[in-house]
Amino acid sequence: MKRYGPVFRTNLVGRPVVVSTDPDLNYFIFQQEGNLFQSWYPDTFTEIFGRQNVGSLHGFMYKYLKNMVLNLFGPESLKKMIPEVEQTTSKRLKLWSHQEGVELKEATASMIFDLTAKKLISYDQENSSENLRENFVAFIQGLISFPLDIPGTAYHKCLQGRKRAMRMLKDLLQQRRENPRKHRSDFFDYVIEELQKEGTVLTEAIALDLMFVLLFASFETTSLALTLAVKFLSDHPLVLTKLREEHEAIVKNREHADSGLTWKEYKSMTFTFQVINETVRLANIVPGIFRKTLRTIQFKGYTIPAGWAVMVCPPAVHLNPEKYEDPLAFNPWRWAGQELNGATKSFMAFGGGMRFCVGTEFTKVQMAVFFHCLVTKYRFEPIKGGNILRTPGLQFPNGYHIKLMEKDERHNST
């Protein structure tokens, strides 16, 4: 950016790519999805996530799959899901509190994966002969690696992890087809109904690729955000105090203190949403979002030829001192009075345009419920790690371990 400005050309995997750090161009790209731009990712990503993955589909097919996912992650479904998220979170926190220490990224990833896998495919690790998440761990470790598919390389292990996970998903789908349920209980049931409809556009390959992407995206991104959030709360006691006050007020205002979280209580968590926004702004979990031009584009004096790839760079916006005062500082109060219902020119942590992440609200529900259970029932302290690793635009605590202790109600301190 210092050398070439906010928009510049480079090469990625042998093809020209325009990198955009300009908020106006980024917003324009998202708003012109399907008209001047379409989703695009390098061939290696397509190979890893599947040729029929939702990120590679366009037009009607993409909208069709998006509506399918909204049946699972839409507001009406999430209202019913909150008790289950709270129960799962409480159970895990109780388990962690009896351990000497917890490696938070691994622990939260396991918790979220089990919850999501149950909602998607009724998968229960305790009653399964194979460990589905182990295959995703192998997949993640080679996700960004040199694409050399020979035994021993990270890329090969990544493809093998995907192959094993896809085989398990296919076997589960086949079992479900052979033994259909009377009542829909998970996303697989909905997929099977769609596959059986006459004239359906859904194929088994598309359905399995969709399931794979949903499992990956849900647990890997949210666990990173939660880990970074706890790191920030540890380092900023004033934020932690304010967060605790909000959640303890929720409990205090209930008719029965032990009754579970409600949708109304969740929507009332004003400061909690500020903490979530600030966490994902700094985390920049997705450092690059790719599109391809459908025809030659003229914008602010720049010419982007037809067929070129464009990489939108959210970190350059989220960490821009012209947009955010002291951008590297964790300051949830900067979001006071702002209500975000989608992407803006200065905030695109969940993408933008028609491809705005359909799981955004699900992520916020999981983070809010986790905070609620954590700050109302436990104390915690870092015992190892916690250094922020900074790759271009991406931040996360390396090997961040905490000690979790049940709160002593006589001392309301951390």
Residue numbers in the known binding site for heme are 357
Q: Where are the alpha helices (DSSP H) in 236-269?
A: 237-252, 263-267
Those residues whose C-beta lies under 8 Å from the C-beta of residue 199, and which sit 6 or more positions away, are none
Query: CA 97, CA 406: separation in Å to the nearest integer?
Result: 7
Annotated binding site: 357
Amino acid in the structure at residue 101: G
Largest CA distance in the chain: 67
Closest to 126 in 3D by CA, of 136, 138, 117: 117
Would you say 198 and 371 are in contact if contact means Cβ atoms under 8 Å apart? Answer: no
Query: CA 347, CA 23: separation in Å to the nearest integer?
Result: 9
Which helix or strand (DSSP H or E) is residue 397 part of? strand 394-397
Instruction: Report residue 138 as tokens.
Output: 């192998």
Those residues whose C-beta lies under 8 Å from the C-beta of residue 283, and which sit 6 or more positions away, are 224, 225, 228, 349, 394, 395, 396
Would you say 299 and 25 are in contact if contact means Cβ atoms under 8 Å apart? Answer: yes
Those residues whose C-beta lies under 8 Å from the C-beta of residue 381, and which sit 6 or more positions away, are 234, 402, 403, 414
Closest to 379 in 3D by CA, of 406, 401, 402, 410: 406
- Determine the 3-state secondary structure of 256 from DSSP: coil
Pairing mode of beta strands 15-20, 309-312 = parallel
First and final CA of the chain: distance in angstroms? 42
Amino acid in the structure at residue 82: I
